[in-house]
Amino acid sequence: MTMPRSSFNAHVTGVAGNIVSIESDGPIMKNEVAYINVGEDRLKSEVLRVYGKVADMQVFEETQGVRIGDSVELTKHMLSAVLGPGLLGTIYDGLQNPLHQLAERDGFFLHRGSTVPALPVDTQWTFEPSCSEGDRLFAGDVIGTVPERRITHKIMVPFAEREEFELLWIGKGNYRIDETIARVRDRRGRERDLTMQQSWPVRRALPAGLLRQRLCERQFPTERLTTTTRLIDTFFPIARGGTACIPGPFGAGKTVLQGLIARYSDVDIVIVVACGERAGEVLETVTEFSTMEDPRSGGKLIDRTIIICNTSSMPVAAREASIYMGITLGEYYRQMGLNVLLIADSTSRWAQAMRETSGRLEEIPGEEAFPAYLDSSVKSVYERAGLLRTNDGSEGSLTMIGTVSPAGGNFEEPVTQSTLGAVKCFLGLSSERAYKRFYPAVDPLLSWSRYLDQLGPQLDRELDPRWTDSVKQMTELLHRGDSVYQMMQVTGEEGVTLDDFLDYQRATFLDMVFLQQDAFDPVDVSVSTERQKGSFQLLRRLINRSYEFTDKEQIREYFTRLTGLFKNLNYAEWNSQPYKQLWDQIHELEQTAISGQAKPAEDPAVST
């Protein structure tokens, strides 16, 4: 969207990296977009601080060649996202420039100051109206729909409107996004045209309560986001519309885990914000999403994905803005009643971009030179996630998962600690588990989820009356097993009792067959809720059995054999003949180690 030029004169008065100071003979607005004219280039910038007619701006481009006295255009518009059909399947930079179009026009090296329209202007969309002439309309009301790839895209009255309208005319058929599809009149008799596109400032959340507040309001999350990853869904659940973080050192598997969550979660839209990752990792993400099959639709995963791409080599200011751009796009699709998953990778580099900008602004630094407002900035980002009831009565959700890359895996550093105060699910990755080839390398002794208690009543109703209590019991077993392991590191196996050794073997068995999952196995990569339920109930039964063991070698041999059978069970197709045979073998092995009469094997398809 082209920004209008200001009638006021402004010029550059100082340059410090990507921070440029300006002076204007007219008013300056905080967060408004401005352009610095450097030869034939127009460098997009954003006003950060205003002192009367003097302001500091961050520039989204390289500032080489910017000199004192260069002219500046003030637009009186804030940095905004263009919203409308055509977003899905697009790879943007942090300012919503489609990268593939820039590459086609300018080559594979981005030219400074280059911009292209965020949405395809020549594409025609088949518009189907959903309201009639004479209807009263408010901001956020749906006036029609168009098909966008595999979803129904709702065209809504612009969210910036704060008046009631009367619909005078509405079209039907094929239109471009900039063509008039409806005409409305406000209470003062002023008429205006509506198109399929609108814009919204990225640093301001889309309003949860519009004029029809009785309908459009935030809801309390009551459903679990199903990721088909056993460790997450069972032990550390994430609510639909909730927040989570995945901190971990380099090489611990953050990118692989977030890719699995994006691919297999039960959401309609996926938004990946690569806000500062290395170019190789971003290229891998783009390639995989473009070619990977979508398990929900059978098409390509990119068809329901938007990628915001800002590598670590791109300008700092653009990296900082990219996460706000992604959240705004997610809020837009949430307003349509869709379930959206936003993954930010990684928020550490986003915070580092803020630290660099804050240093150049000579602000008072906080811990480790991060800005003093780091904590509030992190919280303001995560609080934009949530569950929302829209104007038409449907419910949409925006679930946000941020990955954090603390140096050396130190979870005490400021970005991780600020994130922990903002989210309700913490999936801490461990380099020790990654080195042992335990994947996902989420450390169950460090991780937690407050959603387990929040969603507990629903999980107990849908899965098992004892589900939540059993998960907590298994978590306690993991902690007991770790304590025994630490003791054995000092005293050896001879220094622990038979019962303690049994707890250690039980905890190891739980870790090996349930917490670990093979991302490269076509069966184990994604586990349905029904199968997770059956596996967990079988696991609970095996762990809670009263066994008749006489020595530690007998315990070790039994759980080694049991682990092998259960792992093969995980690799077998659900309810297939090999699956049932393995189930019977597990039952037979179980009978050799328990007291009392043997019982018939239970049907694996039936709740145990």
What pLDDT is recorded for position 310?
Answer: 84
Tell me phi and psi for residue 127, to 5 degrees: -90, 130
Q: Is pLDDT at 160 greater than 50 in this prediction?
A: yes
Residue 197 to residue 79: CA distance in whole angstroms: 16
The share of the chain scoring above pLDDT 70, in percent, equals 95
- 10-16 and 41-51 as β-strands: parallel, antiparallel, unpaired? unpaired
Distance of CA 337 to the CA centre of its chain: 17
Residue 347 to residue 339: CA distance in whole angstroms: 22
Q: What class is the 467-591 domain? A: mainly alpha
CATH classification for the domain delimited by 10-80, as one of 3.30.360.10, 3.30.70.260, 3.55.40.20, 2.40.10.170: 2.40.10.170
What pLDDT is recorded for position 5?
Answer: 54
Q: What average pLDDT does the segment 178-187 reach? A: 95
DSSP state of 24: E
Retrieve residue 600's tokens: 């018939």
Retrieve residue 489's tokens: 């590191």
Q: What average pLDDT does the segment 274-290 reach? A: 80
Q: Is pLDDT at 108 greater than 80 in this prediction?
A: no
Q: Where does the pLDDT of residue 453 fall: very low under 50, low under 70, confident under 90, or very high at 90 and above?
A: very high
DSSP state of 413: S
What pLDDT is recorded for position 251?
Answer: 83
Average model confidence (pLDDT) across the chain = 90
Are 20 and 59 in contact by the 8 Å Cβ rule? The answer is: yes
Domain 224-459 matching CATH 3.40.50.300: the answer reads yes
Are 226 and 341 in contact by the 8 Å Cβ rule? The answer is: no
Residue 158 to residue 192: CA distance in whole angstroms: 12
Q: Where does the pLDDT of residue 8 fall: very low under 50, low under 70, confident under 90, or very high at 90 and above?
A: confident
What pLDDT is recorded for position 280?
Answer: 72
CA proximity to 53, closest of 77, 78, 80, 72: 72
The share of the chain scoring above pLDDT 90, in percent, equals 74
Q: Please tell me if the domain spanning 10-80 has the same topology as the one spanning 467-591.
A: no
The full set of domain ranges for the chain reads: 10-80, 125-197, 224-459, 467-591
User: Which residues make beta-bridge pairs with 151?
Assistant: 148
For 388-435, the pLDDT digits (tens) are 988 888 899 999 999 999 988 899 999 999 999 999 999 999 999 999
Q: What average pLDDT does the segment 476-485 reach? A: 97
SS3 211: coil
Residue 573 to residue 580: CA distance in whole angstroms: 10
Residues in the chain, how many?
Answer: 608
Residue 363 to residue 244: CA distance in whole angstroms: 30
Q: What average pLDDT does the segment 280-285 reach? A: 78
Task: List the strands of the sheet with 151-156, edge to edge.
Answer: 151-156, 142-148, 125-129, 173-175
Q: Is pLDDT at 98 greater than 70 in this prediction?
A: yes
CATH architecture of 125-197: Beta Barrel (2.40)
Q: Helices then strands (H, E): number in the chain?
A: 16, 28
Of the given ranges (241-245, 435-439, 447-451, 603-607), which has the lowest mean pLDDT? 603-607
Q: Is pLDDT at 10 greater than 70 in this prediction?
A: yes
Using CB atoms within 10 Å of the CB of residue 2, give its burial: 0 to 12 exposed, 13 to 18 middle, 19+ buried. exposed
Q: Which residues are annotated as a binding site for ATP?
A: 248-255
For 354-376, the pLDDT digits (tens) are 999 999 999 999 999 999 999 99
Single-letter amino acid, residue 543: I
Q: Which residues are annotated as a binding site?
A: 248-255
Are 558 and 593 in contact by the 8 Å Cβ rule? The answer is: yes
For 503-562, the pLDDT digits (tens) are 999 999 999 999 999 999 999 999 999 999 999 999 999 999 888 888 999 999 999 999
Retrieve residue 263's tokens: 């691919």
What pLDDT is recorded for position 289?
Answer: 85
